[in-house]
A and B are shown apart, each in its own frame.
Chain A
Amino acid sequence: MATRMKSLKFFPVVTCILALVLPASRALKGQGVPAQEGVNLDALIIQDFENRVSEYAKLHKAIDAKMPALKPTDSSEKITQHQHELAEQIRKARQGAKQGDIFTPQIHAEFHRLIAIAMQGQAAARISTSLRRAEPVRLRLQVNADYPANVPLQSTPPSLLMNLPKLPEEIEYRVVGNSLVLCDAHANLIIDFVPGAIP
């Protein structure tokens, strides 16, 4: 009895230590958000993704604001020049950016889950057919690289987009083979990507 009482005496201490250590280890493993009691972990991961995207969008806007605003023009040269200049400045500001900076392992896993949900039931065959017919492309993906002008865009099925987190206007999801790519549509720049995201 005395031994049992002795072990119970340590129970709250052990619980507290575990409560502190376990979420931290999970966060470290995923380089993402720690779990909090009563909080939806999926929501926290999405929040983390949105924060990272928002940081990128802030950078994009800050650079774009320093350049002459691009308005409809007869000069195709101005359009091309603006795009290249914007891409160049963003590239400089994100020197060292690498795959997984935005799609951390935790976010990567969350996107797998979201895409799997989108492709459940009747929608699965429909989305797969659309992807197959959307001119699938092969491309060696590289963060901070331009999306090549001679490679077509594989259309992203609307049912898939409806299940993914909303993005700022200048950023879009693109499907490249079975990867999901985060692209800066104004700068025509690859921001990050998730290899093998599309089943």
Chain B
Amino acid sequence: MRRAVFILLVAGLALAPWVLPTQDRPSVSASTAPFQRQVNSAAQVPPSELTLPLKPGSVRFAVIGDSGTGDRNQFEVAGQMAKYHEKFPFNFVIMLGDNIYGGDTPGDYKKKFELPYKTLLDAGVKFYASLGNHDNPNERFYAPFNMSGERYYTFTKGNVGFFALDSTYMKPEQLAWIEQHLQSADSAWKICFFHHALYSDGKYHGPDPDLRARIEPLFVKYGVDVVFSGHDHVYERIKPQHGIYYFVVGNSGALRSRNLKPSAQMIKGFDTDRAFMLVEVAGDELYFQTISRTGKTVDSDTLIKQP
């Protein structure tokens, strides 16, 4: 009898997190809770389960970086994205650069973008690209990348303003452009995405200190909330820096296996397989789920907009 009670107790404790509805799970606010805490821990999420709340009217998108290899791994990540799109119908994808590796022929565009994401493209999902150091700057004229012929640009979805930057060539005119557009943006959330990471524990590249010295003060001054970058072929979530949430998603096609050297700034790292992110923004909350090539959830959490 005592043994049966013990088994029931253990089973109850193990199942408790899944019984709680998503919106009732505790959320993490950088201003009130330490970020080291893993809430809604990825380890607890069964394969293929969606942790995002699918709130009415929310802004939903996916994030990929360093994707354009054209190899089997890219196709498998794209396959998972299509699978998750059925459960989480995101409207668009942001691309963090290195969209087309190793060439710029029509065949490269086909093999490294059009074919892998065909299911999503056919479903009407839009892709918004930023340029990486392996990209020909003329990719900006490729209409499916929605760059309107510009190397840096902005667009708004719901209450979120997106700013795509060209971190390979951050000339003074671009810095002035960022300042002007961040200052005049009136969206509740400001999300910047570009290729080179300002913070990264990737051993191969690491952060770009000069880029950080020049653009981070603008991000802080004009209230940027989240920054997505790639370049290091790993996934990493960084502790908020100066009130900004930073992610590295540089493993949606390429991978530098076991390349992370964890430091005190890392909340979560994943460097043993490819991954992409799903993001949902609703009101003052940003929910995200990071999913591996095999469909396993490697990170998920809720971020609260900083005051």
Contact = CB atoms under 8 A, between A and B. Distances in A.
Interface of A: 70-77, 79-80, 82-83, 123, 126-127, 129-130, 133-135, 149-150, 152-162, 166, 172, 185-186, 188
Contacts of B214: 158-159
Contact of B104 (A126, A134, A149, A158): A149
Interface in B290-305: none
A133 B168 CA distance: 12
B149 A72 contact: yes
B250 to A, nearest CB: 12
Nearest to B209: A126
A150 B102 contact: yes
B172 A133 contact: no
B148 A72 contact: yes
A133 B106 contact: no
B210 A126 contact: yes
Interface residues of B, number: 41
Contacts of A70: 138, 141, 149
Contacts of B196: 134, 155
Contacts of B133: 134-135, 152-155
B136 interface: yes
Interface string B203-237: 00111111101110000000000000000000000
A155 B167 CA distance: 7
A79 B205 contact: no
Given A158-B170, A158-B171, 6 more contacts: A72-B148, A154-B133, A155-B208, A157-B211, A158-B175, A159-B210
Contacts of B177: none
A190 to B, nearest CB: 14
A166 B208 contact: no
Given A80-B104, A133-B205, A133-B208, A126 B172 contact: no
A79 B141 contact: yes
A44 B143 CA distance: 43
A159 B138 contact: no
18 contacts: A73-B142, A79-B138, A80-B105, A80-B106, A83-B104, A129-B210, A133-B205, A133-B208, A134-B133, A153-B168, A155-B169, A158-B175, A158-B211, A159-B214, A161-B171, A185-B137, A185-B138, A186-B138
Given A71-B149, A83-B138, A130 B169 contact: no
Given A152-B133, A156-B169, A158-B171, A127 B210 contact: yes
A24 B137 CA distance: 42
Given A130-B210, A133-B205, A188 B138 contact: yes
A70 B141 CA distance: 8
B169 A159 contact: no
B172 A166 contact: yes
Contacts of B213: 123, 126, 159
Nearest to B168: A155
A76 B106 contact: yes
A149 B136 contact: yes
Contacts of A126: 209-210, 213
A53 B105 CA distance: 29
B208 A130 contact: yes
B99 to A, nearest CB: 12
B143 A74 contact: yes
B134 interface: yes
Interface string B35-52: 000000000000000000
A80 B28 CA distance: 47
B240 interface: no
Contacts of A129: 209-210
Contact of B172 (A130, A153, A154, A161): A161
Contacts of B103: 149-150
B172 A162 contact: yes
B108 to A, nearest CB: 8
A180 to B, nearest CB: 13
Contacts of A154: 133
Contacts of A73: 141-143
Interface in B174-196: 175, 196
Contacts of B149: 70-72
A112 B103 CA distance: 33
A124 to B, nearest CB: 10
Contacts of A149: 102-105, 136
B144 interface: yes
